[in-house]
Amino acid sequence: MPLLVMKFGGTSVADLSRIENAAKKVQAEVARGYDVIVIVSAMSGETNRMVGYVEGTSKLYDAREYDAVVSSGENVTAGLMALRLQEMDIPARSWQGWQVPINTTSAHGSARFIDIPRANIDAKFAEGFKVAVVAGFQGISAEGRITTLGRGGSDTTAVAFAAAFGAERCDIYTDVDGIYTTDPRISSKARKLEKIAFEEMLELASLGAKVLQTRSVELAMRYKVRLRVLSSFEDTDENSGTLVCDEDEIMESKVVSGVAYSRDEAKMTLVTVEDRPGVASAIFGPLADAGVNVDMIVQNISEKNYGNHSGAVTDMTFSVPVNQVARAQKAMEEARAAGSIMYDELISDTDVAKVSVVGIGMRSQVGVAAKMFKALAAENINIKVIATSEIKISVLIDRRYMELAVQALHDCFELDKA
């Protein structure tokens, strides 16, 4: 039998009526001849409730017990989904992570997959079961303890099962009907994409598009798992949603496929750092050790003497998530106190946003950056920092211009047209 993986997020299983709605979608795929592995999240809000219980009980909690508690929401949903399918005369049973087993590392709260043996679930399919309902977001360590995969872990679970079982496709059901050229809340011209390449989706996910979790896209790209994003709340068929697939499946790509943005950015500048070999390592090593996620980096070289420095100096500018500014400041102050780096001043600007254009068509098309910068200039939007990759151009701008920039770039690259 062909096999399909279907994943339902928290809003898709938020109550019994939504679980029934999801079960009907599973029933439709069984009727099409598929064996189905269903991955479920906890009911909407349930994981936050469990986290609140843990933090209310113990401020310095044991991470192993934290995982035991917060993973319980998925177990409840899996059992309820299996019961609903059984009521619909579909042979189904639920599986917790340890029962499969989903073998993971011992990094509680952020575990990673080691392997997913097929034998137990394959045996049930051989007995005539049509659906295996698996609790997402969780696994089991070599020590026999329950682990969790971090937020968004159910998406990653679904992709991992699709890879392990050689599924024809992995369908991610959520509260949107696909992947759009940009956020429809910002641009009324946003258009739903029929297909998007793994690399494009990975960039969009990492840049702030929250439809798919970044780790799940990385895993899908590595194992060539075809993903489909579609709505739990609409009637669907084989052509619904957006297919995330290998570039080879897309006949002709537009130069730019989407515009992404992130509000929660900050720009930090170390003023008059000594320009010498190893200075970048001296800056970004301590930041990495402090758990600061550095994104865009710009170095301005100056041969002039400045302040208390003699010889060449440089200004180093980089962007970080706005909630990591204090941590970054502390890391830099400690590095200066230890004598590993010298700088005159650390300037932080927390009122910026990142806007990016993404598209695999950039590889073979010149002038994309010029077109982007011209569109922003026409709206009198000043660019503070620029970063590029093979299929992405990102700029840091004043946050108050973010929505205007997204709309201008969406129009500039005519993303409303198929």
Task: For residue range 110-121, list pLDDT tens digits in order.
Answer: 999 999 999 999
In percent, the amount of the chain with pLDDT more than 90 equals: 77
Q: Provide mean pLDDT across the span 258-286.
A: 91
Let me know if residue 151 belongs to a domain.
yes
Let me know if residue 403 belongs to a domain.
no
The confidence band for 176, taking pLDDT boundaries of 50, 70 and 90, is confident
Residue 7 labelled as part of a binding site: yes
pLDDT of residue 212: 85
Residue 276 labelled as part of a binding site: no
On the 0-12 / 13-18 / 19+ scale of CB atoms within 10 A, 390 is exposed
On the 0-12 / 13-18 / 19+ scale of CB atoms within 10 A, 224 is exposed
Let me know if residue 11 belongs to a domain.
yes
Q: Provide mean pLDDT across the span 186-207.
A: 90
Let me know if residue 124 belongs to a domain.
yes
Residue 144 labelled as part of a binding site: no
How many domains does the chain contain in total?
A: 1
Let me know if residue 113 belongs to a domain.
yes
pLDDT of residue 301: 66
Q: What is the mean pLDDT of the chain?
A: 92
Residue 327 labelled as part of a binding site: no
Dihedral, 294, 300, 303, 308 alpha carbons, nearest 10: -50
pLDDT of residue 199: 92
pTM, entire model: 0.85
Q: Among 173, 181, 175, which residue's Cα sits nearest to residue 228? A: 173
Residue 153 labelled as part of a binding site: no
Q: Among 298, 307, 302, which residue's Cα sits nearest to residue 275? A: 302
Output the six-digit token pair for 346: 């650390």
Residue 97 labelled as part of a binding site: no
Q: Among 129, 81, 240, which residue's Cα sits nearest to residue 176? A: 240
pLDDT of residue 404: 96
Let me know if residue 98 belongs to a domain.
yes
Place of tokens 């177990």: 75
Residue 156 labelled as part of a binding site: no
Range of the domain at 137: 3-175
Let me know if residue 286 belongs to a domain.
no
On the 0-12 / 13-18 / 19+ scale of CB atoms within 10 A, 17 is exposed
pLDDT of residue 49: 94
Residue 9 labelled as part of a binding site: yes
Q: Provide mean pLDDT across the span 323-334.
A: 94
CATH of residue 57's domain is 3.40.1160.10
The confidence band for 208, taking pLDDT boundaries of 50, 70 and 90, is low
- pLDDT tens readout for residues 22-72: 999 999 999 999 999 999 999 999 999 999 999 999 988 999 999 999 999
Let me know if residue 71 belongs to a domain.
yes
Residue 350 labelled as part of a binding site: no
Residue 291 labelled as part of a binding site: no
